[in-house]
């Protein structure tokens, strides 16, 4: 939760926004740094382009406008013969491709005899280089015959012609632009007009040829179709006579109607037979019991039985009513009972008669169903015979109709093509003929030169950014912070000196090197201010690799500090010592190695520089084990003794990426300065060296950027150091005054030392 709040806090958001802002000044510095190279590249490319462009032969373009007709004039509608639909979009696209075709190009080449024109004839063109002609020992090609040579020549001229021809349709119109490019304006116009003429002529010739071919083919096909039509009609007539057919469809309909009626009658008969069989089975199961038969639903539902039953119910009701009024011997009662008995007797008689008629009804229904089944089978057979006759009749009739239609269609098309064979209608016409141009179309010299200048300048800028991206060196304080994630504690400018030699020892005191001296003093101030609470006495100076100027920084830092304090400079680089050599000490001069090993006393190892007042301990004799000497307790004890006598001790150590001496010295150093040569050492090497020191707990105060080109505006330091030189007047006079004051300070310091000795 806290992490999210910190990430969303306003300060972090502002910081992220600042990181995302593009520093345009940085890009401008890159362009400014490479501006002369970019300008040189742009000028060179522009001049080369101008030379090439102005030496090119001008070319002219002439354009003829052709309109392709969508609705062509025609005597009859015979579009099917040509196979083209002029109302579709594909028709125009096809015409465009025909205009670009090799056939049209060859026709124009032959018509204008371009094979002998100097602009197209390969034999008349200059610059024909043949490797075989220069090297006779190579196998030679077999000579071609005159016909083969002419064909090859025509092919080459046609290819060159096609490359110069441009066909471009005008959008949403039927117009086509025919453009030809040539060194001659007259020839360009003539070729453009000829292409249009040849296209129109070729279309008319193709139409005439197709019409003639269609007429010939249709004439030959008409005879075959006539024979087929006559044969099919004869077969149809013979079949009708053989079968005696007049109206096949009427006979088939009558048979179908009869078949349907018989089928319906059969279904009704089978239903009645089923009902009769059911009643017959029920009667047989009742065993002639009149009461049981009378209760059967099939018997009760019979109309006669229903009437008798109703009469019986009426008689029973009447007897029931009279029984309530009269006794059984009353005449009305007796009459009612007699009537009921009569009705019941009649019911029994009707049931007996109905049962007796059930068997006869069943037999009659069975006989009717069998008779209708036989009639149905007979009707089906007759219907199938009629269907087979109708199918054969339809087949023969269909064949005759098809042959008749084909014959009629071919006959119609034959007459159309015959009538239109002499009619020629062009499918296109020239609306604007080409005229000889007055101004060449190619090359556009001014535009090409301007584009070359712009493109080359852009290419130069891109190359500058590419070189800058590939260069991972450290050039300015921003690189120190962004690439190394370290603080820049000092910056020393580049000082002109002989190539292959180190910077002079006394450059700090030279009157014309005020810029360098002020940079060293700034480094001194930054170092002192970094340790206000507890001054750092032992200061170690190292670098990543040799040649970055760590010794120069050590010496000049000591010169700047000795003006205010007692300073001792120790050459702790016992592998490649250079401090003693810079101060002019002999090789046998005892130094740090002798002091640690105990072969020389401290007084013997210290050398006092009279000019600067600086005390120096050289490396001494080069030992076989310098790292063991630096790691020994005697070295640490010697530094403790020297720290009591001096305000500052500066150790010039070996490069951190070459050997581990600097790591050992970092244990006793209270401050470390890391020297980086500007725009030289790779970023990874520097980061690895700084990382090794930080891993052992070295007290790294910052990076000293050495040999910075302050004269370049892209570095951003030219005006800064000019400001120091102009405003504060570090000229020859002020330098002399500073030297005099320094001499007075040295005299006072020596007098103090003599008093201490006394």
For the segment 460-468, the average pLDDT, to the nearest whole number, is: 86
DSSP conformation letters of 430-485: EEE-----SS--B--HHHHHHHHHHHHHHHHHHHHHHHHHH--B--SHHHHHHHS-
For residue 422, what pLDDT is reported? Answer: 52
For residue 742, what pLDDT is reported? Answer: 46
* Residue 393 covered by a domain: no
DSSP conformation letters of 249-309: HHHHHHHHHHHHHHHHHHHHHHHHHHHHHHHHHHHHHHTT-HHHHHTSHHHHTSHHHHHHH
Cα–Cα distance, 22 to 683 (Å, whole number): 22
* Residue 170 covered by a domain: no
For residue 300, what pLDDT is reported? Answer: 56
User: Taking the CA of residue 408 as centre, how many other CA atoms within 13 Å lie in the half-sphere pointing to its CB?
Assistant: 6
Q: Per-residue confidence at 352, pLDDT binned at 50, 70, 90?
A: low
**Secondary-structure breakdown of the chain: helix, strand, coil percentages, each rounded to the nearest 5:** 65, 10, 25
Residue pair 228/128 in contact by the 8 Å Cβ criterion: no
User: Is the per-residue pLDDT at 206 higher than 80?
Assistant: no
**Where residue 535 sits, what CATH number does that domain have?**
3.40.50.300
* Residue 380 covered by a domain: no
Residue pair 200/207 in contact by the 8 Å Cβ criterion: no
Averaged pLDDT score across all residues of the chain: 78
For the segment 215-230, the average pLDDT, to the nearest whole number, is: 75
In this structure, the chain runs to a length of 758
For residue 496, what pLDDT is reported? Answer: 84
Domain residues for the domain of 662 are 486-725
% of the chain at pLDDT higher than 70: 75
* Residue 364 covered by a domain: no
* Residue 200 covered by a domain: no
* Residue 664 covered by a domain: yes
User: Is the per-residue pLDDT at 129 higher than 70?
Assistant: no
Residue pair 704/524 in contact by the 8 Å Cβ criterion: no
**Omega before 443 within 30 of 0, i.e. cis:** yes
Residue 731 DSSP code: S
For residue 700, what pLDDT is reported? Answer: 93
Q: Per-residue confidence at 652, pLDDT binned at 50, 70, 90?
A: very high
For residue 125, what pLDDT is reported? Answer: 66
pLDDT digits (tens, 9 = 90+) for 577-622: 999 999 999 988 999 999 999 899 999 999 999 999 999 999 998 8
Burial readout 237-261 (b: 16 or more C-beta within 10 A, e: otherwise): eebbeeeeeeebeeebeebeeebee
Q: Give Cα 533 to chain centroid, integer Å.
A: 62
Phi, psi of 471 (to 5 degrees): -85, 110
For residue 128, what pLDDT is reported? Answer: 47
Q: Closest Cα partner for 100 from 165, 180, 196?
A: 165
- 69-73, 110-114, 519-523, 576-580: least confident range: 69-73
Q: In the chain, how many domains are there?
A: 1
Residue 47 DSSP code: H
pLDDT digits (tens, 9 = 90+) for 258-270: 778 888 887 887 7
* Residue 580 covered by a domain: yes
For the segment 4-20, the average pLDDT, to the nearest whole number, is: 49
User: Is the per-residue pLDDT at 211 higher than 50?
Assistant: yes
Spatial strand order in the sheet of 60-68: 165-169, 175-182, 60-68, 428-432
User: Is the per-residue pLDDT at 387 higher than 90?
Assistant: no
For the segment 168-172, the average pLDDT, to the nearest whole number, is: 88
* Residue 528 covered by a domain: yes
Phi, psi of 182 (to 5 degrees): -155, 160
For residue 263, what pLDDT is reported? Answer: 84
pTM: 0.49
For residue 334, what pLDDT is reported? Answer: 78
For residue 577, what pLDDT is reported? Answer: 92
Residue 611 DSSP code: T
Q: What is each CA distance from 168 to 20, 179, 359, 408, 488, in whole angstroms?
A: 49, 8, 102, 44, 66
């Amino acid at each position: 939760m806290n992490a999210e709040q910190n990430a969303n806090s306003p300060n972090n958001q502002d910081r992220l926004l600042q990181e995302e802002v593009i520093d345009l000044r940085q890009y401008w510095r890159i362009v400014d740094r490479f501006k002369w190279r970019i300008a040189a590249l742009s000028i060179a490319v522009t001049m080369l382009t101008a030379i090439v462009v102005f030496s090119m032969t001008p070319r002219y373009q002439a354009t003829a406008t052709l309109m392709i007709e969508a609705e062509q004039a025609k005597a009859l509608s015979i579009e099917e013969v040509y196979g083209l639909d002029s109302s579709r979009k594909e028709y125009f696209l096809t015409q465009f491709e025909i205009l670009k075709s090799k056939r049209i190009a060859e026709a124009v080449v032959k018509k204008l005899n371009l094979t002998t024109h100097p602009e197209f004839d390969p034999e008349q063109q200059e610059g024909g280089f043949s490797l075989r002609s220069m090297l006779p020992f190579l196998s030679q090609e077999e000579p071609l015959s005159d016909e083969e040579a002419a064909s090859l020549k025509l092919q080459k001229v046609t290819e060159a012609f096609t490359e110069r021809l441009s066909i471009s349709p005008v959008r949403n119109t039927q117009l086509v632009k025919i453009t030809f490019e040539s060194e001659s304006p007259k020839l360009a116009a003539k070729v453009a007009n000829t292409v249009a003429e040849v296209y129109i002529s070729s279309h008319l010739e193709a139409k005439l040829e197709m019409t003639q071919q269609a007429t010939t083919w249709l004439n030959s096909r008409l005879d075959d179709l006539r024979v087929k039509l006559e044969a099919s009609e004869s077969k149809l007539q013979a079949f009708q006579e053989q079968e005696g057919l007049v109206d096949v469809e009427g006979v088939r309909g009558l048979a179908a109607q009869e078949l349907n009626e018989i089928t319906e009658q059969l279904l009704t008969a089978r239903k009645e037979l089923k009902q009769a069989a059911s009643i017959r089975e029920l009667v047989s199961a009742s065993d002639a019991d009149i009461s049981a038969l009378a209760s059967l639903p099939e018997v009760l539902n019979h109309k006669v039985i229903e009437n008798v039953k109703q009469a019986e119910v009426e008689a029973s009701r009447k007897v029931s009513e009279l029984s309530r009024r009269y006794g059984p011997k009353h005449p009305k009662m007796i009459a009612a009972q007699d009537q009921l008995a009569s009705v019941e007797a009649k019911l029994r008689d009707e049931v007996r008669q109905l049962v007796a008629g059930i068997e006869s009804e069943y037999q009659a229904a069975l006989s009717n169903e069998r008779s209708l089944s036989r009639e149905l089978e007979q009707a089906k057979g007759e219907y199938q015979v009629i269907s087979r006759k109708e199918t054969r009749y339809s087949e023969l009739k269909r064949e005759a109709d098809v042959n008749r239609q084909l014959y009629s269609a071919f006959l119609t098309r034959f007459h159309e093509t015959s009538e239109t064979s002499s009619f020629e209608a062009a499918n296109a016409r020239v609306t604007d003929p080409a005229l000889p141009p007055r101004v060449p179309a190619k090359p556009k010299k001014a535009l090409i030169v301007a584009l070359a200048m712009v493109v080359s300048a852009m290419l130069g800028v891109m190359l500058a950014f590419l070189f800058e991206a590939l260069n991972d060196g450290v050039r300015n304080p921003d690189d120190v912070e962004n690439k190394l994630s370290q603080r820049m504690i000092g910056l020393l400018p580049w000082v002109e000196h002989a190539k292959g030699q180190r910077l002079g020892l006394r450059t700090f005191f030279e009157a014309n090197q005020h810029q360098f001296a002020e940079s060293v003093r700034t480094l001194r101030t930054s170092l002192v201010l970094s340790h206000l609470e507890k001054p750092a006495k032992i200061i170690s100076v190292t670098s990543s690799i040799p040649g970055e100027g760590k010794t120069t920084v050590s010496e000049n830092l000591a010169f700047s500090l000795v003006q205010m304090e007692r300073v001792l400079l120790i050459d702790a680089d016992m592998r490649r010592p250079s401090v003693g050599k810079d101060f002019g000490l002999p090789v046998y001069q005892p130094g740090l190695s002798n002091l640690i090993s105990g072969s020389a006393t401290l007084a013997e190892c210290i050398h006092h520089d009279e000019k600067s007042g600086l005390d120096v301990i050289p490396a001494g004799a080069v030992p076989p084990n310098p790292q063991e000497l630096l790691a020994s307790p005697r070295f640490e004890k010697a530094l403790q003794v020297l720290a009591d006598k001096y305000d500052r001790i500066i150790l010039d150590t070996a490069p951190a990426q070459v050997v581990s001496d600097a790591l050992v010295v970092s244990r006793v150093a209270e401050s470390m300065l890391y020297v980086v040569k500007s725009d030289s050492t790779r970023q990874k090497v520097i980061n690895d060296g700084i990382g090794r020191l930080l891993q052992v707990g070295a007290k790294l105060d910052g990076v000293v950027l050495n040999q910075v080109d302050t004269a370049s505006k892209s570095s951003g330091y030219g005006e800064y150091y000019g400001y120091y030189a102009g405003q504060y007047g570090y000229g020859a006079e002020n330098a002399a005054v500073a030297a005099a004051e320094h001499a007075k300070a040295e005299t006072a310091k020596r007098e103090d030392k003599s008093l201490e000795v006394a």
